[in-house]
A = this chain, B = another copy of it.
Amino acid sequence: MSDKILMKGNEAIAEAAIRAGCTHFFGYPITPQNELPAYMAEKLPEQGGVFLQAESEVAAINMVYGASAAGARVMTSSSSPGISLKAEGISYIAGAELPCVIVNMVRAGPGLGGIGPSQSDYFQATKGMAHGDFRLAVLAPDSVQEAVDLTRQAFDIADKYRNPVMILGDGVIGQMMEPVEFKEIDSPELPEKDWIVDGAEGRERNIIHSLRLKTEDLTEHNWKLARKYEQMQEDEVRYEEKLMDDAEVAIVAYGTTARVVKTAIKEARAEGIKVGLIRPISLFPFPKKVIKKAAQQVDCFLTVEMSTGQMVEDVRLAVNGERSVAFYGSPGGAVPSPAEILVKLKEVME
């Protein structure tokens, strides 16, 4: 027996964040992530940290802005409609180059929609989060253990690039209990936070801002951000390949969907179908090279998402016309069944 403990995804992420040195949490209630702030409310004060329920998601993300600028490792969490409300604030955080971790336990939209698991915020998370040329690093765990591991990495990536990082899950990841282990991890070398605002005692003053009135400055700033994202593309791509060695078809899926796809693949393999899985773990940076390479091997791709089709565009961009890329979606808060996927898979292979 290991020292694993059984924990809900939401609580495990909170615990992992605290272990990663997160001292401040600002959030606003929303299903299905409520156990995360509740855990923080319980534990953070015990360690001298601060939990504060903000008056809204808008306030919460701006508190994050302040706390990050003040030098803290800080987190907020929410779910789809709440994330939309944070859009402007996230753009400011990215523009001002502040690190933070944002959890989105996606629920089905649009509008109030439903609270079932969904992946319909993919475009928002990876491309159009808010106004302006910026990106989040987006990490999508498919198990509670991975959620724990990625939470730690999220804080490091945030600090390394001075950029917000999003952990993208859903009700399944957040509500599910699985055994987890909190490994002791050595922190990577991270740049010193010499840019924080804490009263300019004995040093040059610091200024945190996203306004850049001169177009040359803003242009340079935006290219600087773009270079950061390219650097992430070099260094931060994460993915899992499964049974790809001899695969003739590749299913591309992430998060909860990938779990179901694994079952579907097992069943397909049992029927002699040579199918493998490519599971993007970092949605941004997207593992495009891996998919590009796979395009040399497989006959076709099938992308499965809990949406009407979003990541499939990134798959198509990576495949770049070399192979066909089919799509299967479940956009209403229901996890697709392995059987449905199998049917689609067979259809695609014809």
Contact = CB atoms under 8 A, between A and B. Distances in A.
Interface of A: 58, 80-81, 83-85, 87-88, 91-96, 106-114, 116, 120-121, 123-134, 209-223, 225-226, 307-310, 313, 316-317, 319-322, 330-334
B111 A332 contact: no
A222 B223 CA distance: 37
Contacts of A222: 108, 120, 308, 331-332
Contacts of A134: 109-110
Contact of A111 (B91, B114, B213): B91
B321 A218 contact: no
A223 B131 CA distance: 27
Contact of A226 (B92, B121, B308): B308
Contacts of A316: 317, 320
29 contacts: A58-B85, A81-B88, A85-B87, A85-B88, A92-B112, A109-B132, A110-B131, A110-B133, A111-B209, A113-B211, A113-B212, A114-B213, A116-B215, A121-B131, A123-B128, A124-B129, A124-B130, A127-B127, A127-B310, A215-B332, A215-B333, A219-B333, A220-B332, A222-B331, A226-B308, A313-B313, A316-B320, A319-B321, A321-B322
A336 B149 CA distance: 44
Contacts of A333: 215, 218-219
Given A113-B212, A213-B114, A320-B320, A219 B331 contact: yes
A333 B125 CA distance: 24
A84 B215 contact: no
Contact of A126 (B91, B95, B111, B128): B128
A311 B243 CA distance: 35
B218 A112 contact: no
Contacts of A125: 128
Nearest to A92: B111
A210 B332 contact: no
Contact of A84 (B112, B130, B221): B130
A109 B80 CA distance: 23
Contact of A110 (B94, B220, B330, B334): B94
